[in-house]
Structure 1
Amino acid sequence: MSAETTALKLDAPDTTATIESTLTRADSLLETTFLELASALDQAAADNAPDEATPTAGPLGVDLVGELAERSRNHGKRLRPTLAHWGWVVGGAAPGSHDDLVRIASALELLHLFALIQDDVMDRSDSRRGRPTLHVVAAQRHRAEQGLGDDALFGDSVATLVSDLALSEATLLVAPTAATVRAAWRLMAVELVEGQLLDVTHTAGRRRDHATSRRIARFKSGRYTITRPLQLGALVGGADEQTVRGLIAWGDLVGDAFAVRDDVLGVWGDPTLTGKPAGDDLRSGKPTELLIWAAELLPPSDRPLLDACDAGTLDDAGVDALQQAMVAAGVRERAEQAVADLSRRAHARLDDLAVEPRADAALRGLADAIAWRSS
């Protein structure tokens, strides 16, 4: 089974009015949050200078809240709030708990936006979800207006500040929930940052080993995408400890499959489907398992390509050549086998959970869509 032969959609499994209600209410809560932020800024300005004219933004001014809102509305797959919803269903959907689920769903969208914006800065990515990244847009404006200072630093600074607000508001949305939910959120956040930090330091240090690569993939990708949203929803829904443990085990398997597929798409994905350039992981020498497998499988004649990857000197032709060499050496085949094995084990784990049929079908469908996605 491969990404090319299966065309599942992430919203395909049992999309009901209930899941739509969760997503619609999450959107509404986000819009309310943006209105409150804009109003708070206006009030603060009026309190500080009640008799002064409103200052102009200037040619390089940024509408902080507007930028955050506009980026938030450009939805991706909405996988995290969807998984939180199904975790809530499996957990029992306790009466009166849907409001907290909506809070979690909204917060997950903002946390994801925070992670994407900062990841794009660190990876120097030019596009995301089919459009220019925030730091690139800001840098272009700086150059066009002949701004003072370094245009790249300006772009990075704007993106960092917008993402900081996303993280802050996500955390505040979670604050009224139960202590167990806040503890799981806190763990997810520190895992995400730790995984990203390991990615940065191991890329710079040209270090690759299986244990670290798997930890990076799980912390910065699988956990905050699959496992923790599912766990958060289950906790809000009133799940018992055994159910939560079972969902975490299932989530880690699906999350690992998600991470491997993410790495495959990062090397061979179609930019028109993924919304970001292919081959960036090779240009930057990311410490992924794909490159570890490449080091194990590539013949001596292709080793200079790996050396150039380590040196950060791969040009477009070099990226193309390394992509082809990795396929010929069996790296992509090994990745597909790993995804298939993880998917099989995830389905077996779901058998053990014995959840109600509607949630069971939804989770199985999501697992397949995640593993074999093309974007």
Structure 2
Amino acid sequence: MANHTLEGNRLEAIPRQPVSHRALISAVEGTLADFLACQIPALDTVDPALGGFARTARDLVMAGGKRVRPTFAYWGWRGVAGTGDTLEAVLPALGALELMHTFALVHDDLMDRSETRRGRPTAHRIFAAQHGDRFGDSAGILIGDLCLVWADQLLAKVALPPSVQLEVRARYDRMRIEAIAGQYLDVLGETDPAAWSVERALVVARHKTASYTVQWPLGFGLALAAGMDHRIEEAYQTYGIAVGEAFQLRDDLLGVYGDPAVTGKPACDDLSTGKPTTLLMLARQLATPAQLEELAVAGITRQAEIIAATGAPARLEEMIRARVAEGVTAIADAPIRLDAKTALIELATAVTDRPA
């Protein structure tokens, strides 16, 4: 484990050797805490209600989570970073990804009418408890918007040469566009799930989740290190898409069969909204005529039983394993630092075989 000391929320001295996962998360969260602490007073001076609004946004950002996106960005950067490069120089960029993630979660929860996230009320439910559902929805949208603006502000604090800044920003923008595109397709699928397919569900998984969870954070980290090797770029893209899709397929399974006490989200949320996930599309593809007929009218609990009986969950597990193997192979052959290669191979399994 790398040696480090803490000063407040920040790492006082960040070593040039790779940091432990715990130290990395502490550094990212310290960066976020320091940045957010400077944002709230400015809103407080306008109106006390705005200070409370900003504190709610801060609490959502700091409410925990796996910090997957900054972790992948770090190892994307570390894979090609020079021996003189320090983590401290790129921490604002890593923190910006977590602010963007909060934006996406807040808006996603609102669109899905989710009641809880990480075991706590979602943003729109927090505000609905104050002044009703319409106010809650409006405030939830604004919380997400604020987090996205904060992400831009924090990213702007990274000191990089202009050419590197342009490349970092281009990847960041593409990551945001693909996440929004995937979210639109996700919402569209709920309007006519009968017309959806396994293939289209995988397109949603790739854009809504894989691109901004693994694929582009890795490329973002590569750009931060001014990495230009096309072999590394290709390896990161292959790994990112494969492992990112596997990450979403695991989410599909957890959304139906996960333990709410562990996932922090209600059970069977996807089934209650009729979301055409890859799991549900596979179940329809594999179901007998009798199962298909019952699936259309059954209650949520019975739907979960029918889906299991079709063999769709087992098939999804096979798809997850195949994608993890594809990602591991791509990264094993990549010309990157050994510590990064080892970490990314371990992460491929860690993020796709999880209880929450």
TM range (shorter): 0.7 to 0.9
In 2: Cα distance, 1:65 partner to 1:91 partner: 37
Instruction: Tell me whether 1:265 sits opposite 2:254 in the alignment.
Output: yes
In 1: Cα distance, 2:116 partner to 2:108 partner: 11
Q: Secondary structure at the match of 1:286?
A: coil
Contact 2:123–2:143 (Cα < 8 Å) also in 1:
no
Q: Aligned partner of 1:183: which letter?
A: A
Cα offsets for 1:38-96 (capped at 9, x unmatched) = 232245x3xxxxxxxxx664xxx871221111111111011111111111111224645
In 2: Cα distance, 1:106 partner to 1:56 partner: 27
Please say which structure displays the higher CA radius of gyration.
1
Unmatched runs of 5 consecutive residues or more in structure 1: 1-14, 46-54, 143-150, 309-313
Q: Of the two structures, which has the highest relative contact order with CA contacts closer than 8 Å and spacing of 6 or more?
A: 1
Instruction: Tell me whether 1:196 sits opposite 2:183 in the alignment.
Output: yes
Instruction: Tell me whether 1:84 sits opposite 2:73 in the alignment.
Output: yes
Q: Aligned partner of 1:102: which letter?
A: L
Q: Aligned partner of 1:374: which letter?
A: P
Q: Secondary structure at the match of 2:79?
A: helix
1:276–1:93 Cα change, 3 Å: farther
Instruction: Tell me whether 1:32 sits opposite 2:34 in the alignment.
Output: yes
Choose which of 293, 301, 304 in structure 2 pairs with 1:323.
304
Instruction: Tell me whether 1:293 sits opposite 2:282 in the alignment.
Output: yes
Instruction: Tell me whether 1:118 sits opposite 2:97 in the alignment.
Output: no
Counterpart in the other structure of 2:126: 137
Contact 1:91–1:240 (Cα < 8 Å) also in 2:
no
Choose which of 224, 232, 241 in structure 2 pairs with 1:252.
241
Counterpart in the other structure of 1:215: 203
TM-score (norm 2): 0.87
In 2: Cα distance, 1:293 partner to 1:25 partner: 41
1:154–1:93 Cα change, 3 Å: farther
1:264–1:369 Cα change, 3 Å: same
Counterpart in the other structure of 2:343: 362
Contact 2:256–2:270 (Cα < 8 Å) also in 1:
yes
Counterpart in the other structure of 1:50: none
Choose which of 128, 152, 155 in structure 1 pairs with 2:136.
155
Contact 2:43–2:54 (Cα < 8 Å) also in 1:
no
Q: Aligned partner of 2:154: which letter?
A: L
In 2: Cα distance, 1:56 partner to 1:337 partner: 53
Counterpart in the other structure of 2:9: none
In 1: Cα distance, 2:264 partner to 2:18 partner: 27
1:326–1:19 Cα change, 3 Å: closer
Contact 1:208–1:288 (Cα < 8 Å) also in 2:
no
Counterpart in the other structure of 2:215: 227
Q: Aligned partner of 1:24: which letter?
A: S
Q: Secondary structure at the match of 2:266?
A: coil
In 1: Cα distance, 2:343 partner to 2:186 partner: 32
Contact 1:235–1:244 (Cα < 8 Å) also in 2:
no
Choose which of 119, 132, 148 in structure 2 pairs with 1:167.
148
Instruction: Tell me whether 1:187 sits opposite 2:174 in the alignment.
Output: yes
Shift in Å at residue 153 of structure 1? 1.3
Choose which of 268, 283, 297 in structure 2 pairs with 1:279.
268
Contact 1:254–1:342 (Cα < 8 Å) also in 2:
yes
Contact 2:183–2:208 (Cα < 8 Å) also in 1:
yes
Unmatched runs of 5 consecutive residues or more in structure 2: 1-16
Runs of 4+ in 1 over 3 A off after TM superposition: 15-25, 93-100
Counterpart in the other structure of 2:334: 353
In 1: Cα distance, 2:310 partner to 2:23 partner: 47
Q: Aligned partner of 2:212: which letter?
A: Y
In 1: Cα distance, 2:21 partner to 2:172 partner: 21
Shift in Å at residue 99 of structure 1? 4.2
The sequence identity of aligned pairs, in percent, is 34
1:302–1:246 Cα change, 3 Å: same
In 2: Cα distance, 1:93 partner to 1:353 partner: 17
Cα offsets for 1:291-342 (capped at 9, x unmatched) = 211111112222234324xxxxx6xxx1111111111111011001101111
Number of residue pairs matched? 332
Q: Aligned partner of 2:121: which letter?
A: P
In 2: Cα distance, 1:39 partner to 1:324 partner: 51
